Amino acid sequence: MSAQQTNGSQHSTSANGSAAADNVLLDVKNLQKWFPITAGFFRRTIGHVKAVDDISFQVLQGETVGLVGESGCGKTTAGRCILRAYDLTGGQVLFQDHDGKMVDLGPLNNNEMKPYRQQVRMIFQDPFNSLNPRMPVSDIVGDPLKINKVAAGKELEDRVAALLARVGLRPEYMRRYPHAFSGGERQRIGIARALALDPRLVVADEAVSALDVSVRAQILNLIKDLQEEFNLTYLFVSHDLSVIEYICDRVVVMYVGKIVEVAETEELFAQPFHPYTEALLSAVPNPDPRMRQQKSRIVLEGDVADPANPPSGCYFHPRCRYVQDQCSLETPELREIAPGHYAACHFAEELTLTGVTASGELG
């Protein structure tokens, strides 16, 4: 544990924060988000869906961290907690302000959040639902500027035009309504809206999942280009491992509200330490028919555990093919197995898991 002094912050860095602390833009500590399950006439709470249950990770300035997992693993909820679209059940979301101080976004109210809403922005998954169909593009992209009193009048229009041009749309289309655009174009509008306030952290929630294959590459490239141009930091939430591999520097793997593995992208894909990561990697279909025979696909049994009623011990144990007695009894902690590589598995050191080798280019 490297408890290095963050500028003015009394908190020590969390378990997986081996990187230099003053470089940390976002420090999520023991984040919890439970949704109550209510029943009956008086809406009594009879239980909780532990969508996010005690997760900690850091995002460094300028890097892209991937949050990956299957549906219901809590990755989207985690992203939305960081954006403070949800109130937290517990834990801290420490964000480095312009002056270098770490601010906990968790307890802030709507008014206090306002300056940080400019710095932390979001790109949505669904390019159709995320744009108000009743507003022209100039308003959609211009509203954040107007609300935060960054620009007005002619200047506002110029900024919107510049933003649209930057994301590859013709500024003349500013007067159009979203229905006149295709999915890919709409996603560009959504990106322009996210960039309007010169953010430092962008949470991209499945930003390319709803797009056609041929458009997906354009948007991924755009997201990458913009990062270099504007010195952005991304938290990239996705279920698509090949996209994660392409765009992320570090990856956080989640399963039923908990982090099971954290590592640099290259390491995680080449040498996973958690059986779930291994299974996930193995399940991705390889777009090369020649690999069909060579690959021994791990097919997981059963379904993802119910976050309202998770199994005992390690949540993954009912589906794990390396399961032992200890797994159903003790909950494994997230431990550093190799430098910068964390996994929550009792047997991470003993198991030899297969990752994805860098197979050659296709002829």
CA nearest neighbour of 62 among 182, 210, 204, 226? 226
Coil, helix or strand at residue 1: coil
Which residue(s) pair with 338 in the sheet? 341
Query: In this structure, what DSSP letter does residue 311 have?
Result: P
What DSSP state is assigned to residue 259?
E
Q: Where do we find the tokens 């307890």?
A: 107
Return the closest-CA partner of residue 252 out of 244, 299, 288, 146.
244
Residues that contact another protein, how many (by CB under 8 A): 96
Q: Which is nearer to another protein, 175 or 333 (CB)?
A: 175
Which residues, 6+ apart, have CB-to-CB distance to 81 below 8 Å?
31, 33, 52, 88, 93
217 lies in the site for another protein, by CB under 8 A: yes
The residue count of the chain comes to 363
Residues 250-289 binding another protein (CB under 8 A) are 265-266, 269, 279-289
Q: Confirm or reject binding of residue 153 to another protein (CB under 8 A).
A: no
Binds another protein (CB under 8 A): choice among 82, 222, 252, 320: 222
Cross-strand bridge partners of residue 121: 202
Q: Which of 103, 151, 304, 323 binds another protein (CB under 8 A)?
A: 304
- Rule CB under 8 A: which of 69-128 touch another protein? 70-71, 83, 85, 110, 113-114, 117-118, 121-122, 124-126
Closest CA to 247 of 238, 260, 259: 238
The answer to whether residue 10 forms part of the interface with another protein (CB under 8 A) is: no
Pick the closer one to another protein by CB: 288 or 349.
Answer: 288
Q: Is 179 in the site for another protein (CB under 8 A)?
A: yes
Which residues is 59 bridged to in the sheet? Answer: 26
| Residues between 17 and 56 that touch another protein (CB under 8 A) | 42-43
Q: Binding segment for another protein among 4-12, 22-30, 154-162, 178-186 (CB under 8 A)?
A: 178-186
Site for another protein in 237-256 (CB under 8 A): 239, 241-243, 245-246
x-marked contacts with another protein along 131-150 as a string, rule CB under 8 A? xxxx-x------xx--xx--
Pure H helices in 26-127: 75-82, 110-119
**334 lines the binding site for another protein (CB under 8 A):** no
299 binds another protein (CB under 8 A): yes
Please identify which residue in 3, 37, 291, 338 interacts with another protein, judged by CB under 8 A. 291
Cβ at position 12, least distance to another protein in Å: 28
**Does residue 91 come out as left (phi exceeding 0), alpha (psi in the -120 to 50 range) or beta?**
left
Measured from the CB of residue 264, what is the shortest distance to another protein in angstroms?
Answer: 10
CB of 43 to another protein, least distance (A): 7
Closest listed residue to residue 59, CA positions, set 25, 17, 13: 25
Q: Which is nearer to another protein, 17 or 190 (by Cβ)?
A: 190
Identity of residue 100? G
